[in-house]
Structure 1
Amino acid sequence: MSATTSPNLTLEAFLKLPETKPASEYINGEIIQKPMPKGKHSRLQLKLCNNINNVAENQRIGYAFPELRCSFGTRSIVPDVAVFKWSRIPFDADGEAPNDFLLCPDWTIEILSPEQSSNKVIGNILYCLQNGCQLGWLIDPSDRSILVFAPNQQPQLLQGSDRLLSLQEIDLNLSVEQVFSWLKMQSM
């Protein structure tokens, strides 16, 4: 993650800048570029979005967006997966998802990359919770654990057969080991 401090840059001015690849986030007056996703990260991100959407989209309960810019409060962040309850998706007049999401996700999921600072990522999750988010996951592929955050509660470190908490409306029913089993793409 590389950071650039722009002392007079506002959130509004940041949002007018061209997008970068990988995405940059605006946090506490700093522009911080996220690391380029690699194989394990991409695989987990896609499988999470697919599994959540398989349960939630057809019933119009919610939707998981990969790499969606969410701008709210004083930050503009790009969670690896941003899940919104259906009723909170700001559809446009044509019933399509808008380009700009100027609100906090209901559930934010981050997949830690080796070159990322866990505290900066946790800082984004906590900021989301302080602004109305109901759930946060920090997935750490290196030690096969998932740190689960809920408002006004201590984080829970889950591993192995521990069942994962999802939004109440989304009956995901996953264990930590099931999530990490998605990394295995060839049978042994």
Structure 2
Amino acid sequence: MRTGSDYPCFRPFFDRQQQPIKIKRSQAVQRTGGGRSPMVRALSQELTLEEFLQLPETKPTSEYIDGQIIQKPTPQGKHSSIQGELVPAINAVVKAARVGRAFPELRCTFGNRSIVPGITVFRTERIPRDTDGAVAHVFSIAPDWTIEILSPDQSQTKVTKNILYCLNYGTQMGWLIDPDEQTVLVYLLQQQPQAFDLPDELLPVPDFAANLKLTVGNLFAWLWE
């Protein structure tokens, strides 16, 4: 898939520092020679969520948060190691029991955000489906469980705000995994976050994934396998 750099007219949406950029139609028109593009609708207004969703996907992926486009850092070794092991570990429990399914890097669009958590888990009955029963392309709902794995160049504040946003839209639980600190922060709605960093601590999970028995030590041991 092409990145924003492959499309000259999209270059103003991202900078090398991965900072949020507010997009206005007047800027886009200037870069596109005045032509009308599906990405722009109203003069001198920020890009809407609907307009953002018409843009090509980027690598690394981009999120839409409060009228801003924020490009996520490229996943690196620790992030990918944990993500690659955790998704099948969750699915071995919830998918096998037909109660849910974990997805890596799945775009979820709800409220006024379009975000791509490291891992999302949905209960089976909430997974959007096509008319033939296949998993749908578009997920316009919040996940039941959102899991973020912090990257070295990523803002912990921005990631935490995405987790809290999910909780406000019905997500049961959020995890923020910090590989460098070997700590997992667990978020529940209207409860104080909990920090888990002892190897033998059993990590809490949503009720539908109660059979998943994973300790802090198990989780971070994947970095050495």
TM-score normalised by structure 2 residue count: 0.80
- Root mean square deviation of aligned Cα: 0.9
The ranges of structure 1 where at least 4 consecutive aligned residues each deviate by more than 6 angstroms after the TM superposition are none
Q: Distance in 1 between matches of 2:19 and 2:132?
A: 38
Contact 1:23 1:34 in 2 (8 A): yes
1:163 and 2:180 are equivalent in the alignment: no
| Equivalent of 1:106 in 126, 137, 144 | 144
Compare relative contact order (CA 8 Å, sep 6+) and give the higher one, 1 or 2: 1
Q: Distance in 1 between matches of 2:215 and 2:174?
A: 16
Aligned residues: 185
The structural deviation recorded for 1:59 is 1.8
The structural deviation recorded for 1:58 is 2.2
Can you give the 5+ residue segments of structure 2 that lack an aligned partner in the other structure?
1-17, 25-45
Corresponding position of 1:176: 216
Contact 1:148 1:156 in 2 (8 A): yes
SS of 1:165's equivalent?
coil
The structural deviation recorded for 1:177 is 1.2
Q: Deviations over 1:41-67 (max 9, x none)?
A: 111011110000000112211000000
Write 1 or 2 for the structure with the bigger share of strand.
1
Q: Deviations over 1:118-152 (max 9, x none)?
A: 00000000000011100000000011000000111
**Which stretch shifts more, 2-11 or 76-85?**
2-11
Q: Distance in 2 between matches of 1:132 and 1:30?
A: 23
Q: Distance in 2 between matches of 1:176 and 1:2?
A: 32
Corresponding position of 1:6: 23
